[in-house]
A and B are shown apart, each in its own frame.
Chain A
């Protein structure tokens, strides 16, 4: 399948309580590279296997959480088309001018029914040290720390996930890959893909708007999940759960917290999704296995702790 429209998650901006502590975490433990600090003190980072200028933006603030998540779309024309569709559906769409200093082209921004802010963009600068393209080596220099390859997806908690699922599937062309459904038919959790991954964004029903459950990074292998766990224990990092595997998406995973309490995931694996695949559905009585396939039991901290 040719991927058109929305291509993939682009970047996410997180609020951190202490920038120095956040940099030790994201740069020295997870292994991202700092590519820029702007004049407002925001720090831009990327993983070694990403072409785009940045994928993680950190902003020091008095409370933790997510400012916004951005998706890259195929072209400027696609961006105009999405703006038209969103406005047609009654969404307020903000146009943001290109920002050369931050290596960003023009963006459109909107707030989803779950209260989360999203941006769409077609143009972003290329990283100086992106993956090689001529007789490409695996990397310029061996990846550090947890060796994450790229930013992969976010799981967000919010109230009106039905509205957000509609927006992502009907207006932005995402496919619902997997869901958790209560006996009365209420969708508790939804996993949505814009390409061939098991998910690019996931949504869980929750009382409050605009919450972050986790930001996820891709690892090459199950061995690297173990290596990440070694680093977490060596540096006494706050672990949530893992290493384990999800029933949903089948990812091999470990969850942990950044020094401001924002949850991170590093994972490997997961199935390939094609748009003709049927939606996979979990009932709430099997949700333990859906979430942690090995433990087969719900973990209250994992289910309820958000920033």
Chain B
């Protein structure tokens, strides 16, 4: 049996279930919600950037331009490549979150 966890989006209070093997963005979209902006759905464009406030998760490949290694370790993730391993509380990325990765990329370059 595939485990299912509840994802809560803090900004709007939306809650929806997500199987452990489905991306949080894909599960949200399939159930007809629009709380997180949907772009490429494949980890490349950065549009679905969120921050995990609490919960356990794993991530698939994400374009480093949008989530640097350091930022990823602090809970920043692309929702389309985010797979829950417990119930999760997440919030949409702020301009500050995005700037942090940009700065880190600029330093690394």
Contacts and interface: CB of A to CB of B under 8 A. Distances in A.
Contact of B42 (A65, A261, A306): A261
B42 A62 contact: no
B91 interface: no
Interface stretch (B1-9, B43-51, B82-90): B43-51
A257 B65 contact: no
Interface string A8-39: 00000000011000000000000000000000
Interface string B53-76: 000000001111110000000000
Given A17-B61, A63-B65, A307-B63, A259 B39 contact: no
B18 to A, nearest CB: 16
Contacts of B62: 17
A260 B66 CA distance: 13
Interface-central residue, B45, B47, B65, by most chain A CB under 10 Å: B45
Given A63-B63, A307-B63, A257 B42 contact: yes
Q: Could you tell me the dominant secondary structure of chain A's interface residues?
A: loop
A260 B43 contact: yes
B64 A63 contact: yes
A234 interface: no
Contact of B40 (A18, A62, A261): A261
Given A301-B38, A301-B39, A307 B44 contact: yes
A262 B44 contact: yes
Given A17-B43, A305-B45, A307-B44, A261 B38 contact: no
Instruction: Classify chain A: how many residues form its interface, as a range.
Output: 20 to 34
Interface size class of B (residues with CB under 8 A): 10 to 19
Contacts of A306: 45
Contacts of B43: 17, 64, 260-261
Contact of B63 (A62, A238, A301, A305): A62
A26 B90 CA distance: 34
A46 interface: no
A257 B41 contact: yes
Contacts of B41: 238, 257, 261
A221 to B, nearest CB: 27
Nearest to B62: A17
Given A261-B39, A301-B39, A62 B44 contact: no
A107 interface: no
B44 A64 contact: yes
Nearest to A18: B61
Contacts of B38: 301
Interface of A: 17-18, 62-65, 238, 240, 257-263, 301, 304-307
6 A-B pairs with least C-beta separation: A261-B44, A261-B40, A64-B44, A62-B64, A238-B41, A305-B39
Interface of B: 38-45, 47, 61-66
